[in-house]
Structure 1
Amino acid sequence: MTSNTFALIGAKFGMLAAAGAIALSAAPAHAQAPAAPPIEAYGALPAIERAVISNSGAYTAMLMTVNNQRQIMVLDSSGAPVKQFIVGDAKVRGIDWVGDEAILLRRSETQELALKTNRVMGEWMRVNVLPLDDSREVISVFAEQRQVANFVAGFSGIHRVDGRWVGYFSGFRMGRASGEEMRILSYRPALFAVDLLTGETDQVAFPAGEGRSRDWIIGSDGKIAVTLDFDLENGKYTIKNPSGSIIARGVQEDGRISLRGLDKAGNALVYTTYDSDGADWRYFSLPLEGGQASELWSDIEVDWVIRTADERVLGVVDKTGGILLSDGTQPAPLASLLEGRPQGSVSLAGWTPDFSTLAYSTSGNYDSGSWFRMDTASGSRAMLGLERPFIQGQAIAPIETFEYEAGDGLSLEGVLTLPPGREHTNLPAIVLPHGGPTAHDEPIFDWWAQAFAARGYAVIQPNFRGSTNRDEAFVEAGDGEWGGKMQTDIGDSLKALAARGIVDADRACIVGASFGGYSALAGVTTHQNGYRCAVGVNGVYDIEDFFRYDLSGKSTVFTRGVERLIGKNADLDALSPTAQASRASAPVLLIHGRDDTVVPFEQSVLMEDALSDAGKQVRLLELKGEDHWLSQAPTRTAMLDAAISFVEEHNPAD
């Protein structure tokens, strides 16, 4: 279970360069505006999306797009190409190393599957093993297992067991009911061990019982070291060690407990629970033999946990981007990278188990994304390549953070992307709220914000209450404020920048995706902030319809989470743009991926129908074959083209 169980993931979302540093220089605001790069340059998938380091540090694998062809490129430690895997239009969700011998490719496909009582369209995860040795065949996890559904429900790491590389995956058992087609007969997954170089598969753990969920951590011997059982009705949980003894128990009514892995020595479990009284996630180390749990990292705001492929916890990254290893040390070379840089961020992407070699990326002012490999002992680094090779120099819009105050006095901040080469006064504006809503925007190169800024708009990305850029108390401040103070926080960001003379509040549109799409439509229906237009992408517009099967009065973990987010006794009609369509105060463009399995396409159909019935100006653009995350370059570009054209029609920059 995770803190984002109920999040609507926001949709906002090259050749190899020679090793060396990039010379960056700022363009003054009054300089002549550079020609805007074509929309395709922003809609294209990044030239480099991911980089991971093999166990020994001998190889770097990068997920790349070169000449519109997606591929995984493997380089040796000198930067020389070793192997190339063409992945075509696969929707890659992650890559990992299997030792130094193969690449584990995680990808998703939108497909209809036969479940226990019906057929369901979903975004199903599949895993392939791509060996560096040409004599070995590509392995597809579960593909040859007639009694196991051909998709992966969960991943529990990679281990070296008796000289073999073994991956541990959750999967669903298949069977026939009354002579019908093979179906998934239970919605509770079992755990399987898969030889990653032969595909041989064995079940190693049984599913949880009815109304329960189960998670596992695997030990260095390839056996189950920890089992978490969770009751989906009352939130009670137990944690068991390898011998089956209960070493921890408790209650998390909202499901906010998570196994993070074993410590570096493999003798203790690292796990998290949520402290409602203190409004904070707490991290614990618990000996596998039992005993008293000790708290970890209590003095920092943890953003994410650094783990090895075999799920050993090496340390954490805090919300400032700082790295703290489990032994209390910090890798000084990486920590010093931002010194002297323009505002931006450094993101850790790959590492060896001993942290001697790292892959990381930078992004921010005058940096549209750069990727590096570093030796931490010497601090030496080599460039792997550029993320946006066709958007460089003065074409990169300047980025800054700003602080402002909500109507009730709460201190907030946001990200402002400004049009390059223009005076930054009384600018036309795009308010671009993020998805989630448990997410946040950072001062980095954002392809969507940059595309608008290049065409003369100031782009405002408010981190409203409920965002994850601050502590958990700030996240909790968003509970029950879906369509309430979250929405007014968004409007207050525009007012604040207008008061400073940076933007013209009378020349603003609101644009967003997923929860941001909801906010865009709420901004011209349930709330009216004077926007000239609204663009919603893959958004939720009819809240009751969206949560129809989860707000039926059942006391389940999921229902309690939804009620916490929206408000237990919320008036869903008052919050839903569909029910308030007659109040629409500006033209609306709806864009939705036809294969969206997170927010159904029907949400935009309902919104279009409601606006049309109310005699309002609305258009719906269907993105065929596209999912919730806008995973494909052609449809990303089509979305940008339509959104920018619509905004320019109703709120021209000049």
Structure 2
Amino acid sequence: MVVRTELLSRSFLLKARNWSLNAPRRGLPSLCVFDLTGATESALIGLDSTYRLKDFFWVDEARLIFRFGMFERLQTQSGMQEFEAWRAVSYDVNSGESTVLMNDTRGMVDTSNIVSLLPQDEGKVLIMGWIYDSGATSGTIMPTKSNKGWMPRTFAVNLKNGKTRKAETFPKHTDQVVFDQYGREVARLRRDINLGTSTVYRGRDEIYFEDDVNVRNLRLIALEESVGDLIVWIDRGENRGLNYMSLRDGSMSPVMIGDKRAGAAATIIDPYTGTLVGVEYGGEWDEQVFLVPELDAAQSAIEAAMPGKHVTITSWTADRKKVSVALAEAGRPADYFVYDSAAGTMGSIGSAGSHLVNRPVGNVVSISYEARDGRTIQGFVTLPPGKTSDNGPFPLVVLPHGGPVAHDTAEFDWWSGAYAEAGYAVLRPNYRGSTGSTSEHRFAGYGEYGGKMVDDVIDGAAWAIAQGIAKPDGYCIAGGSYGGYSALMVAARDSGQVKCAISVNGVTDPILRLSEYTPDSNAYNHYELMLGSGRFSDDASRAAIMPVRQAGAMSAPILIMHGREDTRVPFRQFTRMREATGNRPNFTFVEMEGEDHFLQSTYARSDVLNRTRTFLEAHHPVQ
């Protein structure tokens, strides 16, 4: 079995008899279904090249649902717009037949948001989307846009023929709805950005209210049926982190793990029951803590049997007797297994990167350094295979992560791994604003999108040179999304040291990007918070954080690549930069036809690596 690391990404699901995984087919994500008993042959479900597999889950022993995205241009009330449309497909394992769900609807951007498997209504699922009420005709389903005039609506959908039946419409300004496993409303969150208020309702009864809200400080996670309360996320004040919210009066109590608060953790929800079964903490490795005895025991047994390996449980059967698990070491692709607790056995499935099994990989080292204002920045340096810092200095590539609300870990990373294999030291800093550390470190990024977050990256390169890890004659910088933006800004601000810069799907005009969000939307408010609300009232302040206005300060060779079907950072960011630079010879622009923001195909990632490694060798050679 050959499974490329960048395509697997923990996408592995178990049922009692079958299991499935995300694997490449002609370089594109596809779905493989295997019979654990060996009674039937495996099935490969290939997707058209225009479809991008997102995720998948089992409905029952014979039916699988997978979701995919596709690039579309649609006529809207605001004119022609580009979207990534989301669709869901029901696949019958026995017959091999597949059906697109909600196939009797038109003009809907997202028809994949399944909120209940409706166990009381066999053969149907409940899908929720957002309908725009313009006061005239019905609009389109489009989550994550402005909640002004948008109303969630649920549809009962037949899994065999994909046909829909409208179930319920919720009031305007409804931001979230929590359902029980039978598709019944438990609670809903009404958020009015204009008034700055958030209200939680149980039926018609208001159980919680807060004002002075300009970002999503409150999120409803799930119903915890064992205690009869909601699990919610609070992002401010003394209750920050995971909490139970009483459905009776809205009072809060912290989610506890033993005698400690769960705090700022991600939730692990059981896909069969919708209940909380564990939490995950970010850090050098993302660590799981399970709250149910079956999964906690499985984790302990696997860790005892495989010392020195980082254990991540990726899925389990409904009875939790079998689990799929990823075992990893720093910088090396994970190996996947099925653990059977009843039999006490663990069988190998394969490697997430079989092409690297017998090849040396880069040496990933956790590091920290002090930024110019004294803040401690944690990160990772990946050194060439078999090398340590004592073998330095090496030519340096700085690779800031995207997001920016994200973080790098010690796990295998295809981009830094490829550069390290070529002989470079690669620095991946978790600059302020990153997750995976404290809330204070994340909040320190607010207002510093084009400021101290960029300075942290420059300071990391200076640290690597001072430590003797990097050669003192300069460095190159590369990144994707926000990391691409950071690469361009560093090229402008540290032009005396930057020998070349690479931006892939990067933001080039953050002010334009802000204007593309609806002003009363959650996305707008969060992006404005990251940029710095009220800080850019004059032209000079705006120009200082805009690569399109800083191109003249970039003297090093610059390579800019962008997916033509990128909807996260729209392609117009690429064209704006190309227009701003004119015919300047140090800029090279590459359009990636048919590719999206996340470069999901093997072709896209191979193209990025081949072009950028050639670019690095030309302007920052290893020898």
In the other structure, the counterpart of 1:619 is 588
Deviation, structure 1 residue 573:
0.6
Letter in 1 for 2:65: L
Q: 1:407 aligned to 2:367?
A: no
Q: Deviations over 1:544-596 (max 9, x none)?
A: 22222459xx5664443223211121322111111111111311000001111
Moved more, 473-482 or 57-66: 57-66
Q: Deviations over 1:91-135 (max 9, x none)?
A: 111011102221110100000123234221111111001112318
Q: 1:518 aligned to 2:480?
A: no
- The within-5 A match list for 1:54-453 is 54=15, 57-65=16-24, 68=27, 70-78=29-37, 82-88=41-47, 89=49, 90-134=51-95, 137-145=97-105, 149=108, 151-152=110-111, 154-170=113-129, 172=131, 187-209=150-172, 212-241=173-202, 243-251=203-211, 252-265=213-226, 267-275=228-236, 277=237, 281-290=240-249, 292-297=251-256, 299-309=261-271, 310-320=273-283, 321-326=286-291, 331-335=296-300, 345-365=310-330, 367-376=332-341, 380-422=345-387, 424-453=391-420
Letter in 2 for 1:99: D
- Secondary structure class of the residue paired with 1:436: coil
**Structure 1's 511 and 562: CA in aligned 2 closer, same or farther, altered over 3 A?**
same
C-alpha distance in 2 between matches for 1:48 and 1:598: 20
C-alpha distance in 1 between matches for 2:155 and 2:33: 29
Letter in 2 for 1:250: E
Contact between 2:242 and 2:264, CA under 8 Å: does it hold in 1? Answer: no
- Secondary structure class of the residue paired with 2:119: strand
C-alpha distance in 2 between matches for 1:198 and 1:175: 31
C-alpha distance in 2 between matches for 1:159 and 1:140: 18
- Secondary structure class of the residue paired with 1:508: strand
- Secondary structure class of the residue paired with 2:102: coil
Q: Deviations over 1:320-369 (max 9, x none)?
A: 53333345897144257567979874333212345433222233336322
C-alpha distance in 2 between matches for 1:492 and 1:228: 42
C-alpha distance in 2 between matches for 1:257 and 1:366: 35
In the other structure, the counterpart of 2:146 is none
**Structure 1's 422 and 267: CA in aligned 2 closer, same or farther, altered over 3 A?**
closer
Contact between 2:101 and 2:163, CA under 8 Å: does it hold in 1? Answer: no
Off by >6 Å, runs of 4+ in structure 1: 173-178, 181-186, 339-344
C-alpha distance in 1 between matches for 2:264 and 2:453: 23
Deviation, structure 1 residue 83:
4.3
Contact between 2:114 and 2:125, CA under 8 Å: does it hold in 1? Answer: no
- Secondary structure class of the residue paired with 2:162: coil
- Secondary structure class of the residue paired with 2:529: helix
Letter in 2 for 1:254: V
Contact between 1:153 and 1:172, CA under 8 Å: does it hold in 2? Answer: no
Letter in 2 for 1:299: R
- Secondary structure class of the residue paired with 1:443: coil
C-alpha distance in 2 between matches for 1:45 and 1:437: 20
**Structure 1's 122 and 496: CA in aligned 2 closer, same or farther, altered over 3 A?**
same
Q: Deviations over 1:286-337 (max 9, x none)?
A: 3434463322146345442111235322221222533333458971442575
C-alpha distance in 1 between matches for 2:28 and 2:484: 30
C-alpha distance in 2 between matches for 1:306 and 1:86: 28
Contact between 2:219 and 2:233, CA under 8 Å: does it hold in 1? Answer: yes
Deviation, structure 1 residue 527:
4.1
Q: Could you tell me which of 618, 624, 629 is aligned with 2:598?
A: 629
Q: Could you tell me which of 437, 440, 443 is aligned with 1:470?
A: 437
C-alpha distance in 2 between matches for 1:408 and 1:238: 39
Contact between 2:35 and 2:42, CA under 8 Å: does it hold in 1? Answer: no
**Structure 1's 226 and 376: CA in aligned 2 closer, same or farther, altered over 3 A?**
farther
**Structure 1's 327 and 340: CA in aligned 2 closer, same or farther, altered over 3 A?**
closer
**Structure 1's 184 and 416: CA in aligned 2 closer, same or farther, altered over 3 A?**
closer
**Structure 1's 97 and 631: CA in aligned 2 closer, same or farther, altered over 3 A?**
same
Deviation, structure 1 residue 493:
1.6
Q: Deviations over 1:491-534 (max 9, x none)?
A: 22222222221211424100001000001000111443611000
Contact between 1:260 and 1:313, CA under 8 Å: does it hold in 2? Answer: no
Letter in 1 for 2:102: F
Contact between 2:101 and 2:161, CA under 8 Å: does it hold in 1? Answer: no
**Structure 1's 376 and 237: CA in aligned 2 closer, same or farther, altered over 3 A?**
farther
Contact between 1:594 and 1:627, CA under 8 Å: does it hold in 2? Answer: yes
Q: TM-score, normalised by structure 2?
A: 0.88
Q: 1:574 aligned to 2:544?
A: yes
**Structure 1's 81 and 289: CA in aligned 2 closer, same or farther, altered over 3 A?**
farther
Moved more, 323-332 or 256-265: 323-332
Query: What 5-or-longer segments of structure 1 have no aligned partner?
Result: 1-13, 17-40
Contact between 1:582 and 1:616, CA under 8 Å: does it hold in 2? Answer: no
RMSD of aligned alpha carbons: 3.1
**Structure 1's 67 and 583: CA in aligned 2 closer, same or farther, altered over 3 A?**
closer
Moved more, 592-601 or 285-294: 285-294
**Structure 1's 451 and 412: CA in aligned 2 closer, same or farther, altered over 3 A?**
same
Q: TM-score, normalised by structure 1?
A: 0.84
In the other structure, the counterpart of 2:447 is 480
C-alpha distance in 1 between matches for 2:178 and 2:280: 21
C-alpha distance in 2 between matches for 1:282 and 1:547: 28
Deviation, structure 1 residue 182:
8.7
Q: Could you tell me which of 548, 563, 586 is aligned with 2:556?
A: 586
Contact between 1:428 and 1:653, CA under 8 Å: does it hold in 2? Answer: yes
Contact between 1:430 and 1:460, CA under 8 Å: does it hold in 2? Answer: yes
C-alpha distance in 1 between matches for 2:28 and 2:504: 26
C-alpha distance in 1 between matches for 2:522 and 2:612: 37
Contact between 2:313 and 2:324, CA under 8 Å: does it hold in 1? Answer: yes
C-alpha distance in 1 between matches for 2:350 and 2:120: 36
Letter in 2 for 1:618: F
Q: 1:601 aligned to 2:571?
A: yes
Q: Deviations over 1:230-267 (max 9, x none)?
A: 213233222222x4322222233212322211114373
Contact between 2:229 and 2:247, CA under 8 Å: does it hold in 1? Answer: yes
Q: Could you tell me which of 504, 514, 520 is aligned with 1:547?
A: 514
C-alpha distance in 1 between matches for 2:216 and 2:451: 25
Deviation, structure 1 residue 208:
3.3
C-alpha distance in 2 between matches for 1:291 and 1:534: 51
Contact between 1:345 and 1:444, CA under 8 Å: does it hold in 2? Answer: no
In the other structure, the counterpart of 1:504 is 471
Contact between 2:7 and 2:22, CA under 8 Å: does it hold in 1? Answer: no
C-alpha distance in 1 between matches for 2:496 and 2:116: 48
Query: What 5-or-longer segments of structure 2 have no aligned partner?
Result: 143-148
C-alpha distance in 2 between matches for 1:183 and 1:366: 44
- Secondary structure class of the residue paired with 1:547: helix
In the other structure, the counterpart of 1:649 is 618
C-alpha distance in 2 between matches for 1:410 and 1:344: 31
C-alpha distance in 2 between matches for 1:530 and 1:118: 45
Letter in 2 for 1:367: R
Higher relative contact order (CA 8 A, sep 6+): 1
Contact between 1:300 and 1:318, CA under 8 Å: does it hold in 2? Answer: no
Deviation, structure 1 residue 413:
1.2
- Secondary structure class of the residue paired with 2:73: strand
